[in-house]
Structure 1
Amino acid sequence: MGITLQPFNEFSYTMFSSVVDVLEIIVDSGSNSEPKYEAQILMTSIFSFDFVFNMHLMKNILRITNDLSQVLQRKDQDIVNAMNLVNICKGILQAMRESGWDSLLERVSYFCNSHDIEVLKMDAMFLVQGQKSQKSQPITNLHYYRVEVFYTVIDMQLQELNNHFTESSTELLLCMACLNPSNSFAAFDRQKLSRLAQFYPRDFSAIELSMLDDQLQNYIIDIRSEFVELKNIGDLAVKMVATKRNKVYSLVYRLLTLALILPVATATVERTFSAMNIVKTRLRNRMRDQWMNDCLIAYIEKDLLDKLDNKLIMDRFQNMKTRRGQL
């Protein structure tokens, strides 16, 4: 089955034209020679087949992976939907690799013709920009753009997804999906949930694993008839606490809380590494661990801190010790 790439929309044309207009203004009216020179270099670069090809390729890949990227960054992510999106992205990327070349090249050529950009002949020899002769083994433009760019970039994306979602992590997520209460717990699978508990040997002893299997049998019969119209695992946890089922089925509830913690912990770790480059800058390179941890917490949990009254914070700081000035 082939894949048809979406046509380049008017918004993308407008954005490209707007960027060109801004660069032309800088080149013609800039008061500083350095920005004018940089703008001229950019103008030369974007009006090239190489730039247009890479722009279209990356736009297609980012369009395919955007929903997955957004879901994985959310603290309240639905892990079931995230796992489905992983498989969907892999399938679309593989389909694009197998049958998306002709469509992509057609779009690139159309865009180039619309903006008076020279379209390279695919059967001509590929030349590195700025070089008239090819020192290494000569290759055609078709080989370079299809094999060394198109295939390589897509393979890197697929490899990245495979590295982040290995066989063991995929099994973990699929087992976790069995907790999903939607459609009257249609995804419930007692064996997979017992397998899920085995991923947490510190939280479930051998005796508790045996007890969990029996508890799951009673659990599904009890809640399937009463817990209706639940959307996700979070709603199920709230309902269990409200009806005190968390105490009746304590092992199942423990498994449920572990499933809820996993996506939040994953997102928090990713945010922490990203925030470190923002908090610990070159001017703060002597920041010690405790001070950096405090700053990271304030940055990562800024949504919660925004809800605190500044007066309460100042009063607490003022009462910590005697100070010369009053805040």
Structure 2
Amino acid sequence: MILEDSSNSDHRVETRLLLNNLQSFEFIFQLLLMRNILGITNDLSQALQRKDQDIVNAMSLVKVSKDRLQKMREDGWHNLLCEVSLFCEKQNIDIVNMDDAFVLQGKPGVNFKRQLQELNNRFTEVSSELLICVASLNPRDSFFAFDKEKLVNLARFYPSEFSSLELTGIGNQLENYIKDVRSCEQFSNLDGISDLSRKMVETRRHIVYPMVYLLLKLALLLPMATATVERSFSAMKFVKNQMRNRMGDEFLNGCLVTYFESDIFDSVENEKILQRFQNMTSRRGKL
């Protein structure tokens, strides 16, 4: 419509260029390629974005995604080319002759390499094992995921926190701990390790099982590759921009809190905020 009806010649020229790019074999090829890649990793992406993360299944999806991407890279080109050619034929788009001379730009399978490299960077063998070990602390379904050997292995990842003597004794403490919490009604129906850590403090079992509680604290401090963390770092670019690049840590922290928790702050009336600042100002004046 813009190409045919627009009175602006610049718009018509720009539209013609865009249409030429969209209606090309190269564009269709990349479009279907990315559709396949994103389709393979979609379940993994959804699993990592859920708040009630099932780490064990998420790690299984990482392996599945890597294997499928590698298989598609090795054996999927012929089917992809056939699919692209069929689509172009239906839409009357010129099909590239693969026998013609072609100057290669970039490397074959670069999208696969990038996706595989991204998965390998985020989920190394060590980090995957670490996440699986952390999942053994999950209290759901009467501590169904509990695995003593994995938790002992988790402690070995932190040599500065657990001495060799403590590593020798942590196995027995884990066995006492799991028998205790499984038989205690207060520890039933817990939703995650954060609930478990609070319940241990409430029942003073963090004193009885100090090494188990230390594992819980380390697990809660462990940075996860979640969508929440990704969005937090992305948001920093909006808060600390070129106009405010000298912002101090304290001010930046305050701005980020209000940015992330905007839904909560929207419910606070402006009058209450003004009143609070007036009270703070008056107290400082008296001091």
Please confirm whether the aligned pair reaches a TM-score higher than 0.5, indicating the same fold.
Answer: yes
* 1:280 corresponds to: 240
Deviations 1:22-51 (A, max 9, x none): xxx222233433333222211000100000
* 2:39 corresponds to: 63
Given the alignment, which residue of 120, 130, 133 partners 2:96?
Answer: 120
1:26 aligns with 2:2: yes
Q: Is the 8 A contact 2:55 2:132 kept in 1?
A: no
Q: How far is 1:225 from its partner?
A: 5.0
Q: Is the 8 A contact 2:47 2:58 kept in 1?
A: yes
Q: How far is 1:204 from its partner?
A: 3.7
* 1:317 corresponds to: 277
2:58 aligned counterpart, secondary structure: helix
1:171 aligns with 2:147: no
**1:263/1:281 Cα in 2 relative to 1: closer, same or farther (>3 Å)?**
closer
Size of the aligned set, in residue pairs, is 280
Q: TM-score normalized by structure 2? A: 0.80
CA distance in 2, matches of 1:123, 1:235: 63
Q: Is the 8 A contact 1:177 1:187 kept in 2?
A: yes
* 1:109 corresponds to: 85
Q: Which amino acid aligns with 1:275?
A: A
Identity %: 54
Q: Is the 8 A contact 2:200 2:206 kept in 1?
A: yes
**1:309/1:109 Cα in 2 relative to 1: closer, same or farther (>3 Å)?**
same
* 1:305 corresponds to: 265
**1:175/1:58 Cα in 2 relative to 1: closer, same or farther (>3 Å)?**
same
Q: Is the 8 A contact 2:148 2:174 kept in 1?
A: yes
CA distance in 1, matches of 2:250, 2:213: 34
CA distance in 1, matches of 2:99, 2:225: 51
Q: For structure 1, which runs of at least 5 residues remain unmatched after alignment? A: 1-24, 128-138, 323-327
CA distance in 1, matches of 2:10, 2:242: 26
Which stretch of the first structure deviates more once superposed, 263-272 or 108-117? 263-272
Given the alignment, which residue of 98, 107, 113 partners 1:148?
Answer: 107
Q: Is the 8 A contact 1:271 1:300 kept in 2?
A: no
**1:201/1:74 Cα in 2 relative to 1: closer, same or farther (>3 Å)?**
farther
* 2:118 corresponds to: 160
Which stretch of the first structure deviates more once superposed, 304-313 or 110-119? 304-313
Given the alignment, which residue of 252, 259, 270 partners 2:219?
Answer: 259
**1:258/1:33 Cα in 2 relative to 1: closer, same or farther (>3 Å)?**
farther
Q: TM-score normalized by structure 1? A: 0.72
2:107 aligned counterpart, secondary structure: helix
1:88 aligns with 2:46: no
**1:170/1:68 Cα in 2 relative to 1: closer, same or farther (>3 Å)?**
same
Given the alignment, which residue of 121, 145, 155 partners 1:197?
Answer: 155
The alignment yields a C-alpha RMSD, in angstroms, of 3.2
1:148 aligned counterpart, secondary structure: coil
* 1:7 corresponds to: none
Q: Is the 8 A contact 1:181 1:236 kept in 2?
A: yes
Q: Which amino acid aligns with 2:107?
A: E
Q: Which amino acid aligns with 2:33?
A: L
Q: Which amino acid aligns with 1:177?
A: A
Q: Which amino acid aligns with 1:200?
A: Y
1:179 aligned counterpart, secondary structure: coil
CA distance in 2, matches of 1:229, 1:276: 37
Q: How far is 1:96 from its partner?
A: 1.6
Deviations 1:114-140 (A, max 9, x none): 21111222222225xxxxxxxxxxx7x
**1:183/1:292 Cα in 2 relative to 1: closer, same or farther (>3 Å)?**
closer
Q: How far is 1:70 from its partner?
A: 4.0
CA distance in 2, matches of 1:309, 1:199: 47
